[in-house]
Structure 1
Amino acid sequence: MKKVCTILAIAAVSSLMAADGAAIYQSKCFSCHGDKASKAALNKSQIIAGWDAAKITAAVTGYKDGSYGAAMKGVMKPIASGLSDEDLKAVAATIASYK
């Protein structure tokens, strides 16, 4: 019983500490990509609304390591580098939900 309670407690704490994709989007992405990722950032990027989570993750990972991006590479690298893997997964799921 103690083992079950410990596992449930860990799961509860983990879910409370899970990254909030909507909050991350609002604080890091919204100002350039707009409401529900519906605009081209600084009129130079692609509109990312409708991208699937894998494409978003690949793009942001590429910004982090310098292998992706054109005009927005310099703007995106510091933003992307500030995201943990968990944050990236959460924000990618949020953006993918914007159709």
Structure 2
Amino acid sequence: MKLLSSIALTSILTATIATAQTTMCFKENHKSMTTIETTALSGGECQNQKSVQDMKKEGWSVADINIDKTKNGANYIYIFKKEETNLSSIDEKALEEKILNRLEERKKEEIATKKKQAYIRKSKSGEKLYNNKCISCHGKNGELKARGVSRPINDLNLQDFTLSIRGYNNGDYDRGMAFVMKPYATLMNDKDIKNVYVYLQSLKEKKTNSTEENK
């Protein structure tokens, strides 16, 4: 079996390979290699209670091990195997693919969580800036035509939203009430612009979700 390249907090995958029972256990951020074999492992047949030594006493052998260094120590993945008779067989490649698929699913979940957290941070920053600088002219949800002349900014996509604000800075837009908006636009960098845009989009999403719930 190939070495697994990453650690994930996933439930036990116990199966049989030919005449051998196989299980995966792991330990995260363990600080000392000298104590890992006597430390209770998570997952599989270990169940946060059994160490490598305990597993060996029960007839398990270490079929594979992967160690990844971390800032706080190292992550360990152990593949244990126990020879048994009269067990149904399973294709080894299929078992390995199942383990790797679970690790990949966990990775995707972590990426999605990080993206959601980043979205929330941008929305919070955008809310503060919008309420301080923009709400008086553009309305609570960006729905107003500022000074009765501009487009509602909550209908713009990110590209148009960015170009509209940048237009005040580079002189592309200097008509009508541009002199009112220009001082605010000058203070906004690309990050500020995106944060405000994300905040306005979050308001639209809340409104849409609320409408769907009331149907």
By relative contact order (CA 8 Å, sep 6+), the higher-ranking structure is: 1
Partner of 2:158: 53
Secondary structure of 1:70's match?
coil
Letter in 2 for 1:24: L
Provide the alpha-carbon RMSD of the alignment. 2.5
More strand by share: 2
More helix by share: 1
1:1-99 aligned within 5 A: 1-2=70-71, 20-99=125-204
The TM-score normalised by the length of structure 1 is 0.73
Q: Deviations over 1:13-49 (max 9, x none)?
A: xx6x867111111111100001101111111222222
Aligned residues: 88
Identity fraction in percent = 33
* Structure having the higher Rg: 2
Structure 1 contact 51–95 (Cα < 8 Å) conserved: no
Partners in 2 of 1:98 and 1:51 — Cα distance? 14
Secondary structure of 1:37's match?
coil
Report how far residue 60 of structure 1 moved: 0.5
Structure 1 contact 53–96 (Cα < 8 Å) conserved: no
Name structure 2 gaps, 5 residues minimum: 1-69, 73-117, 205-215
Report how far residue 94 of structure 1 moved: 2.2
The TM-score normalised by the length of structure 2 is 0.36
Partners in 1 of 2:195 and 2:140 — Cα distance? 17
Name structure 1 gaps, 5 residues minimum: 4-14
Letter in 1 for 2:145: A
